[in-house]
Amino acid sequence: MGIIAWIVLGLGAGLLANMLVPGPRSQGLIVTCLIGVAGALGGGWAATELFHVHTLHGFFNLSTWLTAIVGAAILLLILHLFTTRRSTSRGRRTTRRTSRRTGWAHR
């Protein structure tokens, strides 16, 4: 497959994986495409190395798409884990400070 086919496959796999993975959507279309391309490459590499299955038979092959979607979904889950931890720790600090100020103002 050519580079254009990889980009299209990555965009499609990233969008499908983005719909399958629960949670807030903090990334845009470009990041989703990059995660999809990286997931397609990583999923293809993992399938070849771990299971000795050659999944890259063509653009319209189901195994190629499933491998790309699973790889992109795994990368999206990892991204959500890192962004969720960072945003919840910031939110907790803000909530504590706000509640202290609100409680003091009412006294």
Residue 38 lies inside a defined structural domain of this protein? yes
Does the predicted model carry a pTM greater than 0.85?
no
Higher per-residue pLDDT: 23 or 106: 23
Residue 99 has pLDDT above 60, yes or no: no
Asked if 71 and 40 count as a contact pair (C-beta separation under 8 A), the reply is yes
Residue 81 lies inside a defined structural domain of this protein? yes
Q: How far is CA 57 from CA 27, 53, 60, 69, 71, in A?
A: 30, 11, 8, 16, 17
Range of the domain at 51: 3-96
Q: How would DSSP label each residue in 59-88?
A: TT-HHHHHHHHHHHHHHHHHHHHHHHHHHH
Q: What does the block give as tokens for 74?
A: 């795994």
Residue 25 lies inside a defined structural domain of this protein? yes
Residue 103 lies inside a defined structural domain of this protein? no
Question: Closest Cα to residue 43, out of 15, 10, 20?
Answer: 10
Query: What's the pLDDT score for residue 81?
Result: 85
Once rounded to an integer, what is the mean pLDDT over residues 89-104?
A: 53
Higher per-residue pLDDT: 101 or 39: 39
Query: What's the pLDDT score for residue 55?
Result: 63
Residue 15 lies inside a defined structural domain of this protein? yes
Give the number of domains in the chain.
Answer: 1
pLDDT digits (tens, 9 = 90+) for 42-89: 887 888 888 777 766 677 788 888 888 888 899 988 888 888 776 665
Asked if 79 and 35 count as a contact pair (C-beta separation under 8 A), the reply is yes
| Residue 98 banded pLDDT, cuts 50, 70, 90 | low
Q: What is the DSSP letter of 45?
A: H
Residue 104 lies inside a defined structural domain of this protein? no
Residue 30 lies inside a defined structural domain of this protein? yes
Once rounded to an integer, what is the mean pLDDT over residues 96-100?
A: 52
Residue 77 lies inside a defined structural domain of this protein? yes
